[in-house]
Chains A and B, each alone.
Chain A
């Protein structure tokens, strides 16, 4: 990490730390959701950006985490904190089970199967599968979270909790980038046949990327359930997956890129809420323009020191 980026992270953490003192309650909600969506977007980046698999169903894992927490709390009386490990493990298991049979599919076919799984999930939840998901209304009035006997029930406390989860995610992302697995994913994305020929087990690493991504997304889902003390199916539908997908492509597959992506794709539309009817019309044009001006995203990824003549033209993402 060079000086400039260290300074950048410090500034970002500082701003996030002092922000609750300056925001009113509506903007504090937006702030908390920004932190949660950043975690989901970073986890989507592992699958889409790092491993290069076209995943357009990431809201599924986000929702699985949220519903795990909500069901265990509302139906079985578990304290929220105790549901957190399962809210990571269950989406992870589903991630492996879902990815297993489909990772060999080529780009767009993978994209449509992940959309499919997302739609199956939402419809199952809406139809009150097993009688525990609350149907189309979802599950509400969850308990507040207790940490060492203290209730984290103020919006500010939940904001900082989301911040802790984001820091944890950033730590995972940083370690991933400099680890063997991270390099494997990078080679896999650039050219999976070449990766296979130098002994990388591409299938295992593809499933690994899905597992890690879905586990982190599940954790974020759990925080999301805590924030609203409720879950409902629409929050995890396929449009939400499209949002996470676009965040990565618009922002670029790097940590600053993903954070900028969330800012542009989620916070900016909130800022322009007054223009209710015109907002998404103009937003659509902005998406087109952003892609024309920055086809690789606002802040594209840089990986290691690969000479220009090796990367030039070898674009398959």
Chain B
């Protein structure tokens, strides 16, 4: 039972990181119908930017201000990169066949990944362990660290905030309208280009926070880790039904839990295989993901 609860906590922690990153995939997909393969590399870049902000700007001393500055600066930098990415690699292909934009995204992913390598080098970098105090609590045999608590609480707050932003505000309504029908949204006076920019800012910011969490939680970061985490987050988005915001949250949490239990009870060397078998199984039964809508095909 202890193992069960422990893996539950670990799974929820990993799952909320997946969910944060998955939101970036799903929001871009919702409006542009594009798989943004470069998103995972933005996440990786964010961990490196965060580390550099810590050592270069904050002088390598841990404090609450240091953490706040790291998060704020990294989010701004990565959001800016996300907006540039959309301008350079995706906007010129808005009317092109869908797969050309996918290959452009793959190219952008190579650029970011190798850009990280050129700036920070090919070797693994390590996040300092004392950035977040290494406090742990033992709740009835289950060990929870401060970092896990931070990740869980902050992800929860962000996701609820996003949900209300998309559901209740004017810009949120414009985002939903653009994802249903871009042309109709334009006719209603919505500036779709601006909406896409907003989406890239939000998606990249959430990805940046996810990347910092990955750095803080796993500590070791490499230039090519974007593909690994990005793929998992993308699977989470598909699992929940891509384009669907609550779906991405649900998909992320489910994937994190599934992964933690497989690693805990079966074997970590088979974790990827089992994860994808589960995904394929779910897609065979529900072809558009768990919360995805069944779209009637237009003739």
B256-299: which residues lie under 8 A (CB-CB) from chain A? Answer: 269-270, 272-273, 276-277, 279-280, 283-284, 287-289, 297, 299
B169-202: which residues lie under 8 A (CB-CB) from chain A? Answer: none
Q: Which residue from A127, A277, A292 sits with its C-beta under 8 Å from B269?
A: A127
Q: Which of chain A's residues have a CB closer than 8 A to the CB of B108?
A: 284, 288
Nearest-Cβ distance from residue B28 to partner chain A, whole angstroms: 12
Q: Which residue from A115, A280, A291 sits with its C-beta under 8 Å from B110?
A: A280
Q: Which residue from A113, A115, A116, A317 sits with its C-beta under 8 Å from B98?
A: A317
Q: Which of chain A's residues have a CB closer than 8 A to the CB of B235?
A: 112, 116
Question: Within the assembled complex, what's the spacing in Å between the Cα atoms of A193 and B93?
Answer: 26
B108-135: which residues lie under 8 A (CB-CB) from chain A? Answer: 108-115, 117-118
Q: Which residue from A105, A123, A277 sits with its C-beta under 8 Å from B273?
A: A123
Task: Say yes or no: A106 contacts B110, CB within 8 Å.
Answer: no
Given contacts A109-B238, A124-B273, A296-B100, contact A117 B106 (CB under 8 A): no
Given contacts A277-B117, A284-B114, contact A193 B299 (CB under 8 A): yes
Nearest-Cβ distance from residue B37 to partner chain A, whole angstroms: 9
Task: Say yes or no: B102 contacts A120, CB within 8 Å.
Answer: no
Q: Which of chain B's residues have a CB closer than 8 A to the CB of A249?
A: 99-100, 102-103
Task: Say yes or no: B287 contacts A105, CB within 8 Å.
Answer: yes
B-contact 0/1 string along A120-160, CB 8 Å cutoff? 10011011000000000000000000000000000000000
Question: Within the assembled complex, what's the spacing in Å between the Cα atoms of A204 and B258?
Answer: 35
Q: Which of chain B's residues have a CB closer than 8 A to the CB of A107?
A: 98
Given contacts A108-B35, A116-B276, contact A295 B93 (CB under 8 A): yes
Interface size class of A (residues with CB under 8 A): 35 or more
Given contacts A193-B297, A249-B102, A281-B114, contact A108 B284 (CB under 8 A): no
Task: Say yes or no: B92 contacts A292, CB within 8 Å.
Answer: yes
Q: Which residue from A115, A123, A286, A317 sits with its C-beta under 8 Å from B99?
A: A317
> A54 in the interface, Cβ–Cβ < 8 Å?
yes
Given contacts A102-B283, A291-B101, contact A284 B109 (CB under 8 A): yes
Q: A104, A249, A278: which has the most chain B beta carbons within 10 Å?
A: A249
Nearest-Cβ distance from residue A108 to partner chain B, whole angstroms: 6
Q: Which residue of B lies closest to A105 (CB)?
A: B287
Question: Within the assembled complex, what's the spacing in Å between the Cα atoms of A288 and B107?
Answer: 6
Q: Which residue of A lies closest to B278 (CB)?
A: A116
Q: Which of chain A's residues have a CB closer than 8 A to the CB of B117?
A: 277, 281
Task: Say yes or no: B103 contacts A291, CB within 8 Å.
Answer: yes
Given contacts A123-B270, A280-B110, contact A317 B89 (CB under 8 A): no
Q: Which of chain B's residues have a CB closer than 8 A to the CB of A239?
A: 227
Q: List 8 A-B contacts (CB under 8 A).
A: A109-B242, A112-B235, A112-B283, A116-B280, A281-B118, A283-B110, A288-B111, A297-B100
Residues of B near any A CB (own CB < 8 A): 29, 35, 88-89, 92-93, 96-104, 106-115, 117-118, 227, 231, 234-235, 238, 242, 269-270, 272-273, 276-277, 279-280, 283-284, 287-289, 297, 299
Given contacts A246-B103, A285-B111, A291-B100, 7 further A-B contacts (CB under 8 A): A106-B288, A112-B235, A113-B279, A120-B276, A286-B107, A292-B92, A296-B100
Residues of A near any B CB (own CB < 8 A): 54, 101-102, 104-109, 111-113, 115-117, 119-120, 123-124, 126-127, 193-194, 238-239, 242, 245-246, 249-250, 277-278, 280-281, 283-288, 290-292, 295-297, 315-317
